[in-house]
Chain A
Amino acid sequence: MAEDKNEKKWYDYLLTIKKPLVYLGMFLVVIIPFLSRCKLKTYETDLVKKVFTRVEKIHEYNKEHPDSKRGILLGFDYGPSTTPENDPMLYAVLRHAFLRDIPVVAWAPYVAYLQLAEGRIKRIAKEYKAEYGKDYVFMGLAYPPTPYMISTGTDMRPMFNTDYYGNDVYKLPILDRFNNYDAFGLVVTISGTAMPEVWLRYANSLYNQDVAVATTAVNAAKFYAYAASGQFTGMIAGLKGAAEYEQMVTRLENKVIDEDIKEYLTGLYKNVDKDKYPEKYYEPEYTKSEINTAILRRRQAGRGMSSQFGAHVYVIILIIIGNVGYYFKRRDEKRRKTGKWGA
Chain B
Amino acid sequence: MSLWKRRLPLICTIVFGIMGFILQLVPAFKSFLDIQNQWMTILFGFAIVIGVASLTKYHFKKIRQKPEERIFSYITFSSLIVMAVATLFGMKAETGIFNALYKNLFDYVYVPLDATIFSLLAFYITSAAFRAFKASSWLSTLLLFAGGIVMLGRVAFGPLMVFGELTQWIMSVPTVAAMRGIKIGIGLGMMATSIKIILGIERSFLGGE
Contacts and interface: CB of A to CB of B under 8 A. Distances in A.
B118 interface: yes
Chain B interface size, as a band, is 35 or more
Interface string B112-136: 1011011100110111011101111
Contact of B144 (A23, A111, A112, A319): A319
Contact of B122 (A26, A116, A316, A323): A26
Interface stretch (A35-43, A59-67, A90-98, A285-293): A35-43
B97 interface: no
B169 to A, nearest CB: 12
| Residue in B44, B106, B131 whose Cβ sees the most chain A Cβ within 10 Å | B131
A30 B112 CA distance: 18
Contacts, number: 141
A315 B151 contact: yes
A79 B38 contact: no
A322 interface: yes
Given A79-B114, A166-B92, A238-B154, A315 B34 contact: no
A260 B151 CA distance: 35
Nearest to B103: A115
Interface string B27-48: 0000001101110110010000
Contacts of B176: 224-225, 228
A19 interface: yes
Interface of B: 24, 33-34, 36-38, 40-41, 44, 87, 91-92, 94, 103, 106-107, 110-112, 114-115, 117-119, 122-123, 125-127, 129-131, 133-136, 144, 147-148, 151-152, 154-157, 161, 164, 168, 171-172, 175-176, 179-180, 183
Given A144-B41, A322-B134, 7 more contacts: A23-B127, A43-B156, A81-B117, A112-B114, A147-B36, A147-B37, A158-B34
Interface of A: 17, 19, 22-23, 25-27, 30, 40-43, 45, 79-84, 111-112, 114-116, 143-144, 146-148, 150-151, 153-154, 158-159, 166, 206, 217, 220-222, 224-225, 228, 238, 240, 280, 305, 308-309, 311-316, 318-319, 321-323, 326-327
